[in-house]
């Protein structure tokens, strides 16, 4: 499936390569908000995140004549922002990197409207506790997959991980989450007995 | 598609189109999955589980980016990227002045400007000046005009321009010739044309003499990116650009010039109008439309040699009680017809 948003991103990306300021401006505005939402979860300091976003774009412009071959402008930008924020934190004397880099600020809470009425309070609490106690890395993958709508391939690109590891971590998280939920109903038994072979994209 | 039949709830929850459906991102995905579900009733349990998994990931709202922050940051970046270029221009100008003062200092100037592309500038005050660019294109600058030429790193030949000039561009398919006059961008391969910026009328005019020219508003590229608002011009056509609204209009030049024809060619005796207009059309490369066939069958007798196109049209129209209008880049002749 070709994604029209991605095609437009590439048009803009190539425009930047041709020194087109208008294309560059549009590219920034298209991605500013999603970069901010991602950045603020890596580090909660708004000013630092905003500075980092600006620096990411400035460096794209400055290197526009030798931009790297990329699979997706969006994941390239998110990945650059991640690298930039972690670098800034490492530079800062007041923060200890091992503390900072090991966080991903996400809180999960149920939207009861969207969940079917059969779920009781206990289940809700169980799920929330489970999700909120996930390791930061897993939270980050969840954020990128389900909020930023990135593919496993793109997440691997952003987080500098192996694609298969991203897939495995996500699969594992979902498997454990499913166990927290318990069965859906009677007809469910069948599908639980029938465990499918591990699927690789 | 059969491939989802034995997928687990986890696998479904990781599938892009499935996510697109559950999170309401795509109508196309919704259509697919609703159909799929109808034809695979045995999968309802797994689909419901997968749906529930996805809906669990509700993040509580965090700090949201504000529109003001976005605006401020985008502006800051744009300012930053423009500053170094302005500095470079200033630097080159001062270096050039220094070299002249030093008399023999031109070597220094070349040394300093070698890294950046060489920029050459011309100003005219009261005289007409003809300049030859490095690619052998010739620009004839009218008084009070200003042009600056550089070879862009992407191979384009770039001119920034204000005033009035006649451009005769040497053809080079690999190196487009681009002229910036304010926000109006003109892109050609090899042609000749007049370009006039008219600050008082807040317009820019481009008259094509030979070849083909594309004109667009620099800012419009942002909206659609692919030059959707581009106007393509042929000889004797004029683009008028409004510097206030950015509108581009296509019309005809004041005085269309035709191919030289042997004398006597334009002397007619009881000749149907449509034959005459076909001949004029061919000479000037301009479409002349006769919407009413009754007008086309009127006849004209007279000598149209050594007259301009508009004088020729005036004479024809007077004799057959018709009139003509210029619409876009076409001439339309309307009248009552002849008995």
Interval A132-147: pLDDT, tens: 888 889 999 999 998 8
Residue A201 is predicted with a pLDDT of: 30
Chain centre to alpha carbon of residue B307: 33
Which architecture does CATH list for A1-103?
Orthogonal Bundle (1.10)
The verdict on B156 and B208 lying in the same domain is: yes
| B233 and B311, same domain (yes or no) | no
Which stretch of B86-95, B167-176, B245-254, B314-323 has the lowest confidence by average pLDDT? B86-95
pLDDT of residue B103: 63
Q: Has residue B260 been placed in a domain?
A: no
Mean pLDDT, residues B247-253: 85
Q: Specify the pLDDT at position A185.
A: 53
Mapped onto helix, strand or coil, the DSSP state of residue A186 is coil
Contacts of A111 (CB under 8 A, 6+ apart): B55, B58
Residues B74 and B197 in one domain: no
CATH code at position B165: 2.60.120.1440
Average pLDDT (A188-201) is 35
B55/A171 CB distance under 8 A: no
- Among the partner residues A44, A178, A187, nearest to B9 by beta-carbon distance: A178
More confident residue, B167 or A149: B167
Between CA B261 and CA B276 the distance in angstroms is: 14
Write down the pLDDT at residue A95. Answer: 47
Percent of chain B with pLDDT over 70: 85
- Write the DSSP string, B293-338: HHHHT-EEEEE-TT--HHHHHHHHHHHHTEEEEEETTEEEEEE---
Interatomic CA distance for residues A173 and A142, integer angstroms: 9
pLDDT of residue B115: 43
For residue B175, the 8-state DSSP code is S
Rounded distance, CA B165 to CA B146, Å? 9
Final residue belonging to a domain, choices B225, B252, B279: B252
**Count of domains in chain B?**
4
Query: Quick one: B183 and B93 in the same domain?
Result: no
The Cα A115–Cα A120 span in angstroms is 10
Residues B288, B211 share a domain: no
Q: How far is A196 from chain B (nearest CA, A)?
A: 6
Residue B3 lies in a domain: no
Is the predicted pLDDT of residue B272 greater than 80, yes or no?
A: yes
The more confidently predicted of residues B229 and B31 is B31
Q: What mean pLDDT is predicted for residues A161-175?
A: 93
Full domain range(s) for residue B86: 67-106
- What pLDDT digit, counting tens, does each position of B196-208 carry? 998 888 889 999 9
pLDDT in tens, B4-60: 888 899 999 998 889 888 877 777 888 888 888 888 888 888 888 888 888 888 777
Instruction: Provide, rounded to the nearest whole percent, the portion of chain B with pLDDT above 90.
Output: 15
Q: Which chain A residues are Cβ-neighbours of B81 within 8 angstroms?
A: 21, 24, 58, 61-62
- Chain A residues whose CB is inside 8 A of the B222 CB are 22-23, 25-26
Check pLDDT > 80 for residue B169. yes
Domain with CATH 1.10.1740 in chain A: 1-103
Residue B201, in any domain of the structure: yes
B49 and B76 in one domain? no
pLDDT band at A196 (very low <50, low <70, confident <90, very high): very low
Report how many Cβ contacts below 8 Å link chain A to chain B: 157
B31 in contact with A at a CB cutoff of 8 Å? no
For residue range A2-11, what is the model confidence (pLDDT) as tens digits?
577 788 888 8
What confidence tier does A54 reach under pLDDT thresholds 50, 70, 90? very high
pLDDT surpassing 80 at residue A198:
no
Asked whether residue B321 is domain-assigned, the answer is yes
Averaged pLDDT, B105-134 = 71
How many whole angstroms from its chain centre is CA B235?
Answer: 16
Q: What is the CATH number of the domain that holds B304?
A: 3.55.50.30
Q: B324 - beta bridge partners?
A: B333
Mean pLDDT of chain B: 82
- Are B91 and B160 in the same domain? no
The CATH architecture one would assign to domain A109-201 is Orthogonal Bundle (1.10)
At residue B223 the predicted structure's pLDDT band, cuts being 50, 70 and 90, is very low
Q: Is some CB atom of chain A closer than 8 A to the CB atom of B46?
A: yes
Tell me which residue in A109, A151, A190 faces B45 most closely, judged by beta carbons. A190
Question: B160 with B227, same domain?
Answer: yes
Tell me where in chain A the CATH 1.10.10.10 domain(s) lie: 109-201
Residue A120's pLDDT is what? Answer: 63
Contact: B78, A25; criterion CB under 8 Å: yes
**B4 belongs to a structural domain:** no
Distance, CA of B239 to CA of B237 (rounded, Å): 7
> Band of the pLDDT at A119, cuts 50, 70, 90?
low
Q: What is the pLDDT of residue A162?
A: 92
Co-location of B96 and B187 in the same domain: no
CA distance A81 to A1: 27
Whether residues B40 and B76 fall in one domain: no
Q: What are phi and psi of B331, to 5 degrees?
A: -110, 130
- Measured between CB atoms, does B57 come within 8 Å of chain A? yes
Q: Is the pTM of this model over 0.80?
A: no
Separation CA B175–CA B155 (nearest Å): 6
Tell whether B71 is within 8 A of chain A (Cβ). no
Q: Which residues of A touch B11 (CB under 8 A)?
A: 171, 196, 199
Give the model's confidence band at A36: pLDDT under 50 very low, under 70 low, under 90 confident, else very high: very high
Partner residue facing B74 (CB), from A1, A32, A145: A32
B63 touches chain A (CB under 8 A): yes
By the 8 A CB rule, do A20 and B221 touch?
yes
Same domain, B82 and B206: no
Flag if B78 and A105 touch (Cβ within 8 Å). no
Query: Token pair for residue B185?
Result: 């961008």
Claim to verify: residue B242 and residue B138 sit in the same structural domain: yes
């Amino acid at each position: 499936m070709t994604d029209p948003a991605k095609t437009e991103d590439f048009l803009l990306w190539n425009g930047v390569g041709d020194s087109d300021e208008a294309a560059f401006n549009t590219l920034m505005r298209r991605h500013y908000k999603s970069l901010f939402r991602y950045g603020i979860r890596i580090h909660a300091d708004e000013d630092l995140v905003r500075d980092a976003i600006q620096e990411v774009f400035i460096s794209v412009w400055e290197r526009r004549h030798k931009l790297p071959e990329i699979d997706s402008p969006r994941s390239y930008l998110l990945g650059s922002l991640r690298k930039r924020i972690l670098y800034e934190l490492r530079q800062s004397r007041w923060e200890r990197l091992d503390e900072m880099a090991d966080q991903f600020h996400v809180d999960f809470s149920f939207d009861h409207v969207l969940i079917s009425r059969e779920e009781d309070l206990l289940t809700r609490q169980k799920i929330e506790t489970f999700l909120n106690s996930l390791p930061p890395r897993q939270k980050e993958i969840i954020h990128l997959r389900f909020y930023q709508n990135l593919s496993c391939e793109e997440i691997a690109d952003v987080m500098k991980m192996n694609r298969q590891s991203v897939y495995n971590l996500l699969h594992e998280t979902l498997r454990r989450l499913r166990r927290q939920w318990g069965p859906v109903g009677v007809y469910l038994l069948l599908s639980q007995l029938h465990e499918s072979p591990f699927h690789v994209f | 598609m059969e491939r989802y039949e034995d997928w687990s709830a986890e696998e479904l929850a990781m599938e892009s189109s499935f996510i697109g459906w559950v999170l309401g991102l795509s109508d196309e995905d919704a259509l697919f999955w609703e159909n799929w579900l109808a034809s695979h009733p045995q999968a309802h349990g797994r689909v419901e589980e997968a749906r529930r998994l996805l809906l669990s990931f509700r993040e509580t709202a965090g700090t949201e980016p504000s529109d003001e922050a976005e605006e401020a940051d985008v502006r800051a970046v744009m300012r930053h990227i423009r500053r170094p270029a302005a500095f470079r221009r200033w630097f080159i100008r001062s270096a050039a002045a220094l070299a002249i003062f030093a008399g023999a200092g031109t070597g220094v100037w070349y040394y300093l400007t070698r890294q950046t592309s060489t920029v050459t500038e011309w100003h005219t005050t009261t005289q007409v000046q003809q300049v030859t660019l490095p690619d052998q294109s010739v620009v004839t600058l009218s008084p009070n005009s200003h042009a600056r030429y550089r070879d862009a790193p992407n191979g384009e030949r770039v001119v920034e321009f204000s005033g009035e000039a006649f451009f005769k561009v040497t053809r080079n398919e690999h190196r487009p010739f681009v002229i910036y006059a304010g926000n109006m961008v003109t892109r050609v391969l090899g042609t000749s044309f007049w370009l006039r910026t008219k600050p008082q009328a807040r317009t820019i005019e481009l008259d094509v003499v030979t070849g083909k020219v594309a004109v667009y508003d620099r800012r419009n590229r942002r909206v659609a990116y692919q030059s959707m608002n581009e106007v393509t011009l042929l000889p004797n056509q004029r683009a008028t650009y409004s510097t206030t609204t950015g509108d581009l209009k296509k019309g005809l030049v004041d005085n269309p010039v035709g191919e030289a024809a042997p004398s006597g060619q334009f002397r007619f005796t009881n000749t149907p109008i449509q034959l005459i207009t076909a001949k004029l059309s061919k000479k000037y490369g301009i479409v002349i439309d006769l919407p009413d066939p009754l007008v086309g069958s009127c006849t004209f007798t007279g000598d149209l040699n050594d007259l301009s196109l508009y004088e020729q049209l005036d004479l024809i129209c007077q004799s057959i009680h018709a009139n003509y209008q210029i619409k876009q880049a076409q001439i339309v002749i309307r009248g009552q017809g002849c008995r």
